[in-house]
Chain A
Amino acid sequence: MDDIAIIRQVLAGDRDAFRVLVVRYQRPIFRFLHSYRLSPAQREEIAQEAFTRAYQNLSRFDLTRATPFSSWLFTIAKNLAAHAWDRAAHQREQLVATLPEHAVDTVPVAQARLENAERRSLVALALAGLPAAFRNAVVLSCLKELSLEEIAAIEDCSVGTVKSRIFRGKQLLRAALIETEG
């Protein structure tokens, strides 16, 4: 069943139908939010708030417009995350200290896990170093869940701008990772 049919069902009074949308989009939303350097608790809070706001404002969602529900939901999540990101701006300098949520263990960890955590930390650092617009475009593109048109709707810009941000963002990310690896 497509999103629009589910939304119609919810608006008709079938509250439980909204669960289908939550289950459908929870993973992409969490993946997207992961690019923001927020704590897991903050990410969950934002994800929950995004779904709740989407539900509460569902009757405002224009069922006839071209923008799909996914773009609308991602826009809500992006705005909430950006707000939280700004609030945490003063903590950003401590990024390295807060990064190793996977790596900081007092007990010995398997070498593979450590390498994986280090790699993730490097990618996280490189992503965090990108301008927000480039980071969003790159991450949304890499998730492969959304079309360029949907990403443009989320970022409130043209498809051409999204393409430019993806290309430039990936170039910057590639350069940053090459530089990091020395």
Chain B
Amino acid sequence: MSIPCNAVQETLAWNQPLDEAGQQHVRTCEACRSFGEQLKILDALVMDHASVDIPPGFADRVMAGLSARPARVPRARHRLSHALEFRSVHWVLANIGLLVTLSNLVRFVLSLLVPSTASGGSL
């Protein structure tokens, strides 16, 4: 019984097949064997609870409610156009900001080099 009980019980709960060592563990471990049996009952109860009859004509009603074609919005194009639109707005805003910054920088440099420029050339 080298495999811990918890590991075996988790595998049982996930409805995954046990490997040989796991099966050997269950054969010799009363707690895990009991847990497995209870899980089988539990799964059966949930399945039974979920066993529902499909309303007659359901598929017909679904089909009757559908348009002739699905909406034609190819995912890739939709994403691309959205990205372009999104990026173009940011591109314009970023460039306006850059121009304003450059303009202020030029004015600042000019004001240092030509003091009269800063004073509006009044002298």
* Chain A residues within CB distance 8 Å of chain B: 10-11, 13, 15-16, 18-19, 22-23, 26-27, 30-32, 34-35, 40, 43-44, 47-48, 51-52, 55-62, 119-120, 123-124, 127, 138-139, 141-144, 148, 163, 166-167, 170-171, 173-174, 177
Contact = CB atoms under 8 A, between A and B. Distances in A.
Given A18-B66, A62-B75, A30 B42 contact: no
A44 B39 contact: no
Nearest first, the 3 closest Cβ-Cβ pairs linking A and B are: A31-B50, A58-B70, A142-B46
Interface stretch (B9-17, B24-32, B85-93, B102-110): B9-17
Given A22-B59, A55-B70, A57-B70, A120 B13 contact: no
Residues of A contacting B: mostly: helix
Contacts, number: 112
Contact of B46 (A47, A61, A138, A171): A138
Interface in B2-57: 9-10, 13-15, 38-39, 42-43, 45-52, 54-55
Given A143-B50, A167-B13, 12 more contacts: A18-B66, A26-B59, A55-B67, A58-B70, A59-B70, A120-B49, A138-B46, A142-B47, A142-B50, A143-B47, A144-B15, A174-B39
Given A18-B63, A23-B59, A177-B45, A56 B70 contact: yes
B62 interface: yes
Contacts of B68: 15
Contacts of A60: 73, 75, 78
A119 B70 contact: no
Most buried by B among A23, A30, A127, A142: A142
Contacts of A127: 46, 49
Contact of A120 (B48, B55, B78): B48
Given A35-B50, A59-B73, A163-B10, A48 B65 contact: yes
A115 to B, nearest CB: 12
A141 B46 CA distance: 10
Nearest to A162: B14
A154 B102 CA distance: 51
Nearest to B6: A167
A19 B59 contact: yes
A23 to B, nearest CB: 5
B70 A11 contact: yes
Contacts of B54: 26-27, 30
Given A15-B68, A15-B69, A123-B45, A167 B9 contact: yes
